[in-house]
Amino acid sequence: MKLIGSKTEKEFRDILISSHKALFKDKLDPRLLAALKTNFPNMKTAYFLNHTPEQGEDIYLMLVDTCNIVNIELDRFNSSSEPLVKTISMEQYKKGLSKMGQIKLTVAIDLTQKDLV
C-alpha cells in the first residue's frame, strides 16, 4: 500500500506519534517498555498498532522496528508477573486486515523507517 497524504493517514500518524512519545518519553507503562527491551534488545523504535484493555490484563499489539509484529499481555493486578510476549509474522498479521488497519500499519512502518535513518 502506498501513502497518499490523506486525512486518515494524518490522523493515524498523529495518534501513532503521540503513543510513541508516551511509551518512550513519558514512560506510559515501564513494564511494557521493559518487556520490549528484554525481548528485542536491539530495538530502536516501536509503535502501537492496537491496545485492548481486558478485565485482568492489557493487550498491546506493537510494531517493533520495521518488521516485528508483537503481541504483549500485561497483568493489570500483578505487576510482578511476567508479560506474555508473542511475535506474529508480518504476513500472518496482514491476512484479513481491514483497509483502515492496512493504512495504520503502512503509516507505522513509514514512521519506523524514518526513526531508523
- The domain ranges of the chain are 7-115
Amino acid identity of 53? P
Which pTM does this prediction carry? 0.92
Residues β-bridged to residue 115:
none
Give the contacts of 39 (CB within 8 A, at least 6 positions apart): 70, 85
Phi, psi of 89 (to 5 degrees): -70, 150
pLDDT in tens, 30-85: 999 999 999 999 999 999 999 999 999 999 999 999 999 999 999 999 989 999 99
